[in-house]
Structure 1
């Protein structure tokens, strides 16, 4: 079945919602305006239940079908938060909140799920219950984890869950998906190299933390090239190198490093953590310095479940006529926490030839709205067909 006629009719209205959300972006858990707007609309649609404050600022709407004989409950999730980026699109509806921008299309995800919710609340042409989930803080805050920790799955009896993300480079309205590991685990590390500061003209009287830290950074690149199996995916990136001195003639007492590790298996995740700790400790000691390492396991690998992935792909093909194989993605996605608790799948919908996500010139493509809304609606109607 192609794009649903009712959702095509709603396209201009959903576009207006999307652009309004885009104008007033909110980061992390500070989605107060967005969450209130979502809750207001869900109540206006006639949802049977609307609950706010799940996972701090998350919102869940419950829509019951015409019949309940199946006993099934399906969850649909969209993220609401923006990024701390200054927008450079020049759009008439560009961000009015300084230093915040919907640079990843979560405004589009929220608007599309609202559109699907309106359609499902109007028609209720399914046997079971759908929970529409609007999540804060996907961009680094772990809002998905917070909603799960708040007991969302148990509270609403969710049995399966589905998510969607727009994807620049995929034709507008087409879909792509893959089973198994899909998005990477996103671990974080902070390393402090402690030496002995002193005058730059007398390096022999110091323990040069800058030299030690530079060798640590170089040695860490050997983890992917010499410790990991070449066919495995592993990224180790040092993204910040900051010394305790700002002067030209002072060897600093300490250097602070920050970075991220991306992996697609627990084996590689364990390897990276073990090697980072060993390299930092031993290299620092070789220069007479000391390394303090704080390694944080952040988002886990996002793993699509086999059966639900095939179902999601079939629905996507029905909506757009095509569903491609998606590539592995070394970016993170905290829908991973929800897929650890319940079977489900995560799909990409094409955003066309646009700037990449997280770029200050990115913008969600409103032409993708009918396909995205229809996919969510079809997930419900096909997974819980009306009795």
Structure 2
């Protein structure tokens, strides 16, 4: 029986799992209930389970019995954490935890990998080698992938390749897109502190104005991408926080201004350029105005870049799952993903699963109206199983 038919039969169970997880969201490294839920379902399918990896991570191990797989092993990864947001979907299974919701579809990712786990455990004769089912905590800016790697993920569960999958609203339902190279951008945080000499606003000549320097810096900052990055490349520099002075003292020119923001790039060269030029522009403007500038740049996540061989494997699996709805590329997105760290540690690839137009016009990722489309569960789970067959089914 085709994988898709089996997974279609599992769709009702996956929907129950997904909605249960959706109703009980947990933030990164707090996924205690979620991890226990995952471990319980894996054990119910007679799958070996390891818990407590990077605190709340779970890994299931499924060994195939088909000849030809040899000692090869691959990893399939799903993220489990939710976001610190208040849900507004009005769904009957909406979040029961105030200020917490699954606003990026990680509940769907977890349910799909559980569905794939159930199928793989029941069809060990369809593949050889080993499949590690990686349920990762804390993808949302809390360092879960890095923490799992630091906790010996690929030492304890050595893989030859690792694969990830993410839902994408707006991509037609039943479509799977596998970018050939760059998928997502690096995600870095920067800040600059301008320091001058505070003074009464009526006598500015007696001080040195850090606010004026900061204002010119913000304007100049946005020339980096428009004038220094190759138009055929991509980069983003945005200001997300600016703090200065006291609300109750608008007649005082503050001595210090703090500006913080994000920087995104799809290549190492552009990433280096952004870091270098943010600091240089801050220092130059500070010198012009007789104040000091203290720039700091924190490299958080590298770009998510698919390895060509594994992207080709994913595309074959996508074609086996959705036929002509498999796409061999997708424009890069400048959000970040800590799966990038796993791709630095091992060869692998990352794909987009189309979930169609959102039910609510604002129902995109990280929005209080977002909800995963359960109609995509069977396709996603079948795709994960097809990756296993493409890698280990020979």
What TM-score do the two structures reach when normalised by structure 1? 0.96
Q: Which residue does the alignment assign to 1:326?
A: 330
What secondary structure, in the 3-state scheme, does the structure 2 residue paired with 1:25 have?
coil
Take 1:208 and 1:30, find their aligned partners in 2: how far apart are those partners? Answer: 44
C-alpha deviations, 1:34-72, integer Å up to 9, x for none? 11111121112111x211121222110101112476111
Give the CA deviation at 1:182: 1.6
Whether 1:21 and 2:25 are equivalent positions in the alignment is no
Q: 2:146 and 2:129 mapped to 1: Cα distance?
A: 26
For residue 230 of structure 2, what is the aligned residue in structure 1? 229
* CA offset digits 1:236-266 (Å, max 9, x no partner): 1111111142222222121111101110111
- Does the CA contact (< 8 Å) of 2:245 and 2:252 recur in 1? no
Q: Deviations along 1:177-227, whole A, 9 cap, x unmatched?
A: 111222101111121111222222222222222211111111111111122
Q: What is the CA–CA distance in structure 2 between the aligned matches of 1:31 and 1:198, rounded to whole Å? A: 50
Q: What secondary structure is seen at the aligned counterpart in 2 of 1:46?
A: coil
- Asked whether the 8 Å contact 1:28–1:138 carries over to 2, the reply is yes
Q: Number of aligned residue pairs: give it.
A: 385
2:50·2:58 contact (CA, 8 Å) conserved in 1?
A: yes
Alignment of 1:1-387 (within 5 A): 4-47=4-47, 49-67=48-66, 70-124=70-124, 125-246=126-247, 247-321=249-323, 322-324=325-327, 325-354=329-358, 355-385=363-393
* Cα pair 1:70 1:128 within 8 Å, conserved: yes
- SS of 2:293 mapped into structure 1: strand
Contact 1:189 1:258 in 2 (8 A): yes
Q: 2:302, 2:217 → 1: CA distance?
A: 26
CA drift at 1:4: 2.2
State the SS of the aligned residue for 2:355.
Answer: strand
Structure 2 length-normalised TM: 0.95
1:91 shift after superposition:
1.0
CA distance in 2 between counterparts of 1:253 and 1:41 reads 58
Show structure 1 runs of 4+ deviating over 6 A: none
Per-residue CA deviation, residues 268-327 of structure 1 (Å, 9 max, x unaligned), is: 111111111111111112112111112001110111011111111111111111212211
Q: Which runs of 5+ in 2 are unaligned?
A: none
Aligned-residue CA RMSD (Å)? 1.4
Which consecutive residues of structure 1, in runs of 5 or more, have no partner in the other structure?
none
